[in-house]
Amino acid sequence: MKSYAIVGCGGRALGMFAIPIVKNFPHCARLVGLCDINQGRLDYFNRVLESKIPTFQDFDLMIRTTKPDIVIVTTKDALHHQFVLRAFELGCDVICEKPMAINDQQCREILAAEKKTGRKITVTFNYRFVPYVTRIRELLSQNAIGKILSLDFAYQLDRNHGADYFRRWHRRKENSGGLLVHKSTHHFDVINWLIGQDPQTVFAIGSRQFYGPTRKERGQRCLTCDHKKTCEFYFDINGPTTVGSVLDTSELYAKVEQFDGYIRDQCVFSDEIDIEDTMNLAIRYSGGTQMSYSLNAHCIYEGWRLAINGVDGRLEAQEWHSGPYVAKDNQEISLLRWQKPMETVTVKVDHGDHGGGDARLHKMLFEGPGADPLAHMASSRAGAMSILTGIAANHSIESKQPVEISNLLRG
């Protein structure tokens, strides 16, 4: 039986960790403490969990009082590093939500602290656990297309999910590292994992073209906005939420605003937004593979398209989360070989959270990874490699030059 304490009790902590630990894994996991700066949200956790788990606003006090084996870090991204380092110092292992850190200095400090303290960090990359993605990994590990030469990966966020990153803390680079760190860490991790290589050189361009101060009809927040009847981005914080999760945004955010002033429904056309919404990267990997990657946060429908070119063939995959192409029952992976008929590999759609990835990740996290033949569980190294591509891209956007990942690791 392992004991867990959570720091950062927001939407992700509740849906991904607190509810599953208490409701689904009582045989192997115990939630002993909850820490957040917002007492209202902490109280809401205990109401939802029908529990009396001790709550704290002081992290050190929580650790000293509840002595957890493992700390789960689910604060906003910029603070992950601070709580990971402190948890190590206080003798705990860590499960950290992605991204492990938002800049190269934080990343180096976590790697060094892990070495120094002998503690362990696991980064929760749920995309690896999606059956469709796992099947691609199986095919590549069986050498389905031979040595991999190049990839084209286009990820598009729609105006529902994509816009949501522009409503709250994610919209400032100082909080999230921008979408190339906050969001793309999933994508870069999956690619590193699929091809078994590390990123080496990154060149990026990025701009904000759609959100931010691009229209006159805007306000401070949706709740009080004069344009709520006409704005297609109106988000009803007290209504049933469809953005990102099934959690109740009224209870979790609106009704507890007075404790910390966290406004969940800020205008997506605000002046203060400084993250990009349109990004293109060229990346070279350690084994010589090259990738062109794009992330657009303002698309009409959501999902991704991936093509992998190998010496012996080409693998094509795509997954759609909204819009006309969403798969109902089965998804397909195409394998194409020179002058041979196309082969189609079919994978059953999993309708669970994050394509069934969350539930599979829970099992490995809380019950133990077991054999893990495809290396699904991600260590600090994978956490670092996944964010360094986005961090390098941020440097490249600023400097207009290619950036070497090895320089970021050295500092």
Ligand X SMILES: NC(=O)c1ccc[n+]([C@@H]2O[C@H](COP(=O)([O-])OP(=O)(O)OC[C@H]3O[C@@H](n4cnc5c(N)ncnc54)[C@H](O)[C@@H]3O)[C@@H](O)[C@H]2O)c1
- Determine if 184 is a binding residue for ligand X (CB under 6 A): no
Near ligand X by CB under 6 A: residue from 18, 20, 38, 139 = 38
What letter would DSSP give residue 231? Answer: -
- Determine if 35 is a binding residue for ligand X (CB under 6 A): yes
Which stretch, 29-37, 278-286, 382-390, 402-410, contacts ligand X (CB under 6 A)?
29-37
- Determine if 97 is a binding residue for ligand X (CB under 6 A): yes
- Determine if 10 is a binding residue for ligand X (CB under 6 A): yes
Hey, which residues between 240 and 269 contact ligand X (CB under 6 A)? 260, 262
- Determine if 74 is a binding residue for ligand X (CB under 6 A): yes
Residue 81 or 395 having the CB closest to ligand X: 81
CB of 262 to ligand X, least distance (A): 6
| Rounded Cα–Cα distance for residues 398 and 262 (Å) | 29
E strand or H helix that includes residue 348 = strand 343-348
| Nearest-CB residue for ligand X | 10
Residue 6 or 315 having the CB closest to ligand X: 6
Q: What is the amino acid identity at position 8? A: G
- Determine if 67 is a binding residue for ligand X (CB under 6 A): no
Comparing CA positions, the residue from 263, 83, 35 lying closest to residue 171 is: 263
What letter would DSSP give residue 344? Answer: E
Distances (CA, A) of 175 to 4, 128, 274: 25, 25, 11
Near ligand X by CB under 6 A: residue from 20, 21, 66, 75 = 75
Which stretch, 31-39, 221-229, 322-330, 340-348, contacts ligand X (CB under 6 A)?
31-39
Cis preceding-peptide flag for 199 (omega within 30 of 0): no
Enumerate residues 6+ apart whose C-beta is below 8 A from 384: 100, 107, 110, 111, 409
Helix orientation angle between 380-399 and 184-195, rounded to the nearest 10 degrees: 120
Hey, which residues between 345 and 384 contact ligand X (CB under 6 A)? 354
Enumerate residues 6+ apart whose C-beta is below 8 A from 61: none
- Determine if 41 is a binding residue for ligand X (CB under 6 A): yes
- Determine if 12 is a binding residue for ligand X (CB under 6 A): yes
Site string for ligand X, 120-159 (x = CB under 6 A): ----x-x---------------------------------
- With b for 16 or more beta-carbon neighbours within 10 A and e for fewer, the 148-172 pattern comes to beebebbbbbbbbbbbbbbbbbbbb
Residue 33 or 212 having the CB closest to ligand X: 33
Rg (CA), the chain: 21
Q: What is the amino acid identity at position 255? A: K
| Rounded Cα–Cα distance for residues 38 and 33 (Å) | 14
Near ligand X by CB under 6 A: residue from 4, 5, 8, 291 = 8
- Determine if 309 is a binding residue for ligand X (CB under 6 A): no
Helices then strands, each counted (H, E), the chain: 16, 15
Q: Which two tokens stand for residue 132?
A: 């469709």
Near ligand X by CB under 6 A: residue from 4, 5, 6, 7 = 7
CB of 204 to ligand X, least distance (A): 20
Q: Which two tokens stand for residue 58?
A: 């002081």
- Determine if 76 is a binding residue for ligand X (CB under 6 A): yes
- Determine if 71 is a binding residue for ligand X (CB under 6 A): no
CB of 398 to ligand X, least distance (A): 22
Comparing CA positions, the residue from 359, 362, 308 lying closest to residue 335 is: 308
Rule CB under 6 A: which residues touch ligand X?
Answer: 7-13, 35-38, 41, 74-77, 79, 97-98, 124, 126, 182, 260, 262, 354
